[in-house]
Amino acid sequence: MWLLVAGGATFAAFPHWYASLFSGFYLALLVILVALIVRGAAFEFRGKIDSARRTP
């Protein structure tokens, strides 16, 4: 959530910086976004594990 707010605030306050910064770090920001999505999915699937090692 804070990444979206920071991006929106940067766009509103400094549009020229936003254009140069986000185009330069496009790959890094894409990796961060994918990592956040995978992290959320991992938490969801972790709760569905049915094994003897799992403690309630």
pLDDT tens by residue, 30-56: 898 899 999 999 988 887 767 666 655
Please answer whether residues 13 and 21 qualify as being in contact, where contact means their C-beta atoms are separated by less than 8 angstroms: no
Determine the distance from the C-alpha atom of residue 30 to the mean position of all C-alpha atoms in its chain, rounded to a whole number: 8
User: Which pTM does this prediction carry?
Assistant: 0.55
* Distance between CA atoms of residues 50 and 14, nearest Å: 50
- Asked whether residue 1 carries a pLDDT value surpassing 80, the answer given is no
Domain residue extents for the chain = 2-46
